[in-house]
Amino acid sequence: MVLSLYFQNPAWSCAWDINHPNYMYAGLQNGTLLVYDMRHTVHPVQSIPGLESRPIHTIHPLAHDTSHPQTVTQLLTASSADPCLWNINSKMEKLFKVPELANMEASCTSLAYGCSTTSENIIATYKPKIQGTDSARNRESSLINGFAPSSVLHVQRVRSSFYFKLGSTSAQLGDVGMVKSTIINVDNCPPMFAYGHDVSNGLKLLKIPSLAVAQSLKPHQHPVVDVKYSRSQGSCVLGCISEDKLQLFSAKVL
């Protein structure tokens, strides 16, 4: 079966609801979040404006919080402004910025979420904002060897409403374009953060929570444009794709 959805504004992201498989979400260029029931796709069941009119480039449905009714879904999203938490079908506050990641003097370029039996990890990457009238001069002065000095921030979510900043580190990320990232959870191992490293055109893996470099995977000829992680029936696979190559890696517990 093929379903076609039409948007009044360009869509930048989408995600299935992991708790309610009939629902999906789309993040639009104007900062609006659309909620669709895949059994009735003529119109979205909800259209929720964001806090700012900036493209929603990432959507992560969160694991269900038992303190909320089954009908309430929580979504973690990101635009270049700040990561936000949405409460869908809830009478409580529907949308607010994620504490510890709000009001950053930088542009959010990626947002990764990973849930395990012991913790919920949120990791965001940021690049410096280019400000001022002479943008070309500011851009040139902000670069180091052609790449912007950027940062990776780690926040842990506890009991659905408490957020703790656990660490940060500097990184070299490409000056143009979004960064793709994911969190890896392997049984009996600490989680890791994987992101496309534009300097090497490969994947960089950081340990959580220290954010120290754990591994640099074999580079591509071109920058990595997407990163995905999946686990099923004990098998864990990390994949990335560039302009001309698809790589798949399996976890090896040492």
Residue ranges of the domains in the chain?
1-97, 105-254
Place of tokens 């660490």: 167
Contacting residues for 10 by C-beta, under 8 A, at least 6 apart? 28, 29
Helix (H) or strand (E) holding 249: strand 246-250
Q: Where would I find the beta strands (DSSP E) of the chain?
A: 11-16, 23-28, 33-37, 46-48, 58-61, 73-78, 83-88, 95-97, 106-115, 120-128, 148-158, 162-173, 181-184, 192-197, 202-207, 213-216, 226-232, 235-241, 246-250
Task: Please name the amino acid found at residue 83.
Answer: P
> Dihedral through CA 109, CA 26, CA 186, CA 228, nearest 10?
-70
**Cα separation, 164 vs 156, whole angstroms:** 5
pTM of the model: 0.81
User: Which structure tokens are listed for 51?
Assistant: 């806090």
Q: Cα-flanking dihedrals φ and ψ of residue 30, to 5°?
A: -90, 10
Is residue 30 helix, strand or coil? coil
Beta bridge partners of 25: 15, 35
At 55-81, the pLDDT tens digits run 999 999 887 666 666 667 889 999 988
105-254 homologous superfamily:
YVTN repeat-like/Quinoprotein amine dehydrogenase (2.130.10.10)
Other beta carbons less than 10 A from residue 141's beta carbon: 9
Give residue 34's pLDDT. 92
Place of tokens 């001309």: 244
Other beta carbons less than 10 A from residue 220's beta carbon: 21
Contacting residues for 137 by C-beta, under 8 A, at least 6 apart? none
Residues of the chain below pLDDT 50: 133-148, 254
Give residue 161's pLDDT. 66
**140, 165 contact by CB (below 8 A):** no
Helix (H) or strand (E) holding 138: helix 135-141
Other beta carbons less than 10 A from residue 35's beta carbon: 19
Q: How far is CA 42 from CA 24, 36, 37, 177, in A?
A: 14, 9, 9, 33
